[in-house]
Structure 1
Amino acid sequence: MKADRPKENLKWVPPPKGWFKANVDGTIFKETNKAGIGVVVRDSQGWVLAALTEKVDGVQDAEVIEALAIRRAIRFAIETSFNCVIIESDSLSMVKAIQDTAESTCHIGNIIDDVKLLSKALKSCEFHHTKREANHVAHTLARNAIHVDTEMA
């Protein structure tokens, strides 16, 4: 008899009471030399409290846009006064890089270091990885950035 494998959580899971969860994603539009960022913030009951879509000029590297998206999510949390935040991304490499306590030496180390510094402005901030299927809203917001006029340089 074959043992059942545990099913991976493919649905969005709410944060604990008193916390907010900011799901974040970045995407690249190769044909236009632009990229998009999407962030959605929800409470412990799953209510959407804030969201943003932003276009970024000149980014064509997946790790760069994922790192920029996470940094933007933290800034958004600060701007909107969400002080206990779980930043959730489907980029495992970025989450691991941010969780690493050593100073980053990779090509996006300055962005990662900036993320770590900005997160200290919040009362509590955690970084979690999630599967793409549980990050659908942020992904859709990032893809929608191709249709917005505002750009981050």
Structure 2
Amino acid sequence: MLSFANISRCQIRKLETPARGFIRNWYRGPIPVSWKRPRIGWTKLNFDGSCKGTAGEASIGGVFRNHEAKFLLGYAESIGIATSTVAELAALRRGLELVLENGWGNVWFEGDCESLVDTIVKRKTVTCKEAQKQVSRINLIMPQLENCVVTHVFREGNRAADKLASIGHQLQKPEIWRHIPPDDILQIVEEDAKGKIVFRRRFQR
């Protein structure tokens, strides 16, 4: 389990365990990936954006769970025409808005777009105006949280959010699910809670 020791107020960073670094550099077989629970007192958001083509119909989704892996809230919506980068940022931004609405103070944010995580953690500059708007909103909200951490996970560890982002394409209006997950992700949520391992091919994108 990832350690959250010595995290200062709203210290945003990218976590990578030594074990994962070892796997990335030396392990030649399939990589075992699983969803990890947050520590007691923390809420975890897995978020994802979906885009049809380089720039096309886009949607977002996200799942909040607690240290017992219990489903707290899920969201999905279509956001119109956007790039994949904007969709990923919009998914995180919407998740942050819901964090404020629900009063969660210690939050672990996890997505499967490594470039987005680098943008937020390392404060990298983005050139797209719409992406800039999303980043600005994210940077305004995060300091309001008591503690927060942003990490990257392979897609195999982000399956519930990925599924909700796909569902977003079908929606006419934004949807929020509280306490009980939609049927489409129920099995994934249960598997994640049990620590199911999904194997990823080493050179899979």
> In which range does the TM-score fall when normalised by the shorter chain?
0.7 to 0.9
* 1:127 maps to 2:166: no
Question: Separation in 2 of the partners of 1:93 and 1:79?
Answer: 27
Instruction: Specify the alignment match of 1:67 in structure 2.
Output: 89
% identity of equivalent residues: 26
Per-residue displacement from partner, 1:28-80 (whole Å, max 9, x unpaired)?
135xx421111100001111111011110121x11111111111111111112
Question: Separation in 2 of the partners of 1:149 and 1:110?
Answer: 24
Question: Separation in 2 of the partners of 1:105 and 1:47?
Answer: 35
Instruction: Specify the alignment match of 2:42 in structure 1.
Output: 19
Greater alpha carbon shift after TM alignment, 111-120 vs 35-44: 111-120
Per-residue displacement from partner, 1:80-120 (whole Å, max 9, x unpaired)?
22211111000100001100146x24322332232122111
Q: For residues 32-111 of structure 1, what are the structure 2 equivalents within 5 Å?
A: 33-59=56-82, 61-101=83-123, 104-107=125-128, 108-111=131-134
Instruction: Specify the alignment match of 2:199 in structure 1.
Output: none
* 1:12 alignment partner, SS class: coil
- Aligned 8 A contact 1:23 1:87 in 2: yes
The unaligned stretches of length 5 or more in structure 1 are none
- Aligned 8 A contact 1:29 1:146 in 2: no
146 and 84 in structure 1: CA distance in 2 versus 1, 3 angstrom threshold: same
- Aligned 8 A contact 1:86 1:125 in 2: yes
Instruction: Specify the alignment match of 2:168 in structure 1.
Output: 145
Q: How many residue pairs align between the two structures?
A: 144
TM-score by length of 1: 0.85
Question: Separation in 2 of the partners of 1:9 and 1:128?
Answer: 17
Which AA in structure 1 matches 2:93? R
8 and 106 in structure 1: CA distance in 2 versus 1, 3 angstrom threshold: farther
The unaligned stretches of length 5 or more in structure 2 are 1-25, 175-205
* 2:92 alignment partner, SS class: helix
- Aligned 8 A contact 2:58 2:84 in 1: no
